[in-house]
Chains A and B, each alone.
Chain A
């Protein structure tokens, strides 16, 4: 059974600081996704990582995937208040059914 662990689950940052969210998963997969959720809203796709060594960047966020270590990171550079949200990683368990197993999410709060 695929297990996905995110840490930290809660992260309070100051504006302008850098930090990394980690996503570990338990079985082999080379397809990992990051989503953002604002309070009371739906999930928005941020990054799609489909191979070992994949790196994607958008604005102050950068995501990477190491399939051998079964680890993905979401790095936040010079945080701003608008990045406050819950971030989820999700891993495809493989096969043709495209089933995702989600981590519990990281609640990020960026303080002035």
Chain B
């Protein structure tokens, strides 16, 4: 099993450009999450999904959109990138609480630089 994978690994954008980050998991997990990690800030939840076709806002959703058209994929979109979105983005997946091993499994991360 590959676990959680993320594409791309690294990207440089200019202000105003758009892009989509792809997260894929092969563990048949219902729940998926997008976080951003900034120095000294820990991880902050952007959006999450508790099942195919459902999404919800996390702590820092502004400037991002998400879609979960297939159970195994969770896409994070930046419609008009800003320098404040320079960060490392992590995707994670899990089973619902009370089922399976109770932890979130993280992907390798995507480093995004917005100039």
Binding site for B on A (CB under 8 A): 4, 9, 31, 33, 35, 41-45, 48, 50, 88, 90, 92, 96-105
Contact = CB atoms under 8 A, between A and B. Distances in A.
B48 A97 contact: yes
Contacts of B40: 9, 104
Interface stretch (B61-69, B77-85, B103-111): B103-111
Given A45-B103, A50-B102, A98 B45 contact: no
Interface string B88-102: 001010101100011
Contacts of B104: 33, 45, 98, 100
Interface range, B side: 20 to 34
Contacts of B96: 96, 98
Contacts of B108: 41-42
Nearest to B107: A42
B50 A105 contact: no
Interface string B7-35: 00000000000000000000000010100
A88 B43 contact: yes
Contacts of A48: 101-103
B2 interface: no
B105 A45 contact: yes
15 contacts: A41-B108, A43-B92, A48-B101, A48-B102, A90-B43, A92-B97, A96-B97, A97-B31, A97-B50, A98-B31, A98-B104, A101-B45, A101-B59, A102-B42, A102-B44
A2 B44 CA distance: 12
A44 B92 CA distance: 11
A85 to B, nearest CB: 14
A105 B35 CA distance: 15
Nearest to B94: A98
